[in-house]
């Protein structure tokens, strides 16, 4: 009976230790999640019939009357221009006839979202305060129960409400001579950042990632966000 009692107490000791370790793991995971670097995720869909050799790699932007006098649009146009120049295209002079026309449009929508998520909370007990002592099981005495020992994490559920912003960028590159579309890309991104201007640089970069890429294949592009 004495050996059985020792076995049961030893088993309870390790079960309590496992509960404490589980609580520590939950805290570590929560901390790592909170400290994770923010990113901008975009869903990119490309359709193209890009020729192997484009003779005329000069381009110009086609704008509507409203776009021509829109400072926000001109800012996003500069982002697209920088990407095209990086890819080896050249902007046509005012007096020269371009080989390509570039059109771009953008939009943002917002909606309220409500979710129910699990949360691990502390049971509220204090950690054990034993002094080290020698036992057959090491410097600890499993035969004395501590009423302040940590219990396992308690899972509760809470309602979380937030505003979600859905952003969309659409860019078309067409041939000037016959108006044939050569590259048509749509970028969709969702997040809680209300500033489209802060996210647009990442959406433009995503639009031209792996240019021209596979046609008709949607893919996810994730870029680190720098505040």
Q: With beta carbons less than 8 A apart as the criterion, state whether 173 and 100 touch.
A: yes
pLDDT tens-digit map of 26-76: 454 544 444 557 899 999 999 999 988 777 899 999 999 899 899 999 999
Give every CB contact of residue 70 below 8 A, 6+ residues apart in sequence.
Answer: none
pLDDT at 6: 56
pLDDT at 10: 53
3-state secondary structure (DSSP) of residue 25: helix
pLDDT tens-digit map of 146-179: 544 555 667 778 888 889 999 999 999 999 988 9
DSSP 41: E
Q: How far apart, in Å, are the Cα atoms of 148 and each of 21, 120, 126, 137, 155? A: 16, 19, 5, 21, 20
Write down the H helix ranges in 43-128.
Answer: 65-68, 71-86
* Strands 39-48, 181-191: pairing kind: antiparallel
Q: How far apart are CA 91 and CA 179, in angstroms?
A: 18
Q: How far apart, in Å, are the Cα atoms of 73 and each of 62, 81, 108, 110? A: 12, 12, 13, 20
User: Which has more confidence, 2 or 68?
Assistant: 68
Q: pTM for this one? A: 0.68
Sheet with 217-224, strands from edge to edge, namely: 90-91, 58-61, 100-121, 154-175, 181-191, 39-48, 217-224
pLDDT tens-digit map of 106-128: 999 998 888 777 777 765 554 44
User: Which has more confidence, 160 or 20?
Assistant: 160
pLDDT at 123: 55
């Amino acid at each position: 009976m004495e050996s059985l009692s020792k076995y049961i107490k030893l088993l309870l000791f390790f079960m309590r230790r496992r509960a404490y370790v589980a609580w520590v793991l939950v805290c570590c995971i929560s901390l790592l999640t909170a400290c994770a670097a923010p990113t901008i995720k975009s869903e990119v869909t490309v359709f193209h019939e890009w020729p192997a050799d484009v003779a005329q790699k000069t381009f110009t932007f086609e704008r509507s009357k409203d776009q021509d006098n829109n400072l926000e649009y001109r800012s996003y146009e500069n982002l697209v221009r920088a990407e095209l120049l990086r890819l080896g295209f050249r902007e046509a002079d005012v007096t020269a006839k371009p080989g390509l026309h570039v059109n771009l449009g953008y939009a943002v929508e917002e909606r309220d979202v409500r979710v129910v998520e699990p949360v691990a909370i502390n049971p509220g007990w204090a950690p054990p305060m034993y002094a080290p002592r020698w036992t057959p099981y090491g410097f600890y005495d499993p035969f004395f129960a501590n009423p302040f020992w940590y219990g396992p994490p308690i899972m509760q559920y809470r309602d979380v409400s937030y505003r979600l912003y859905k952003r969309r960028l659409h860019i078309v590159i067409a041939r000037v001579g016959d108006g044939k579309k050569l590259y048509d890309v749509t970028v969709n991104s969702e997040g809680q950042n209300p500033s489209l201007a802060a996210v647009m640089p990442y959406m433009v970069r995503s639009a031209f990632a792996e240019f021209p890429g596979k046609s008709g294949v949607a893919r996810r592009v994730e870029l680190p966000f720098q505040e």
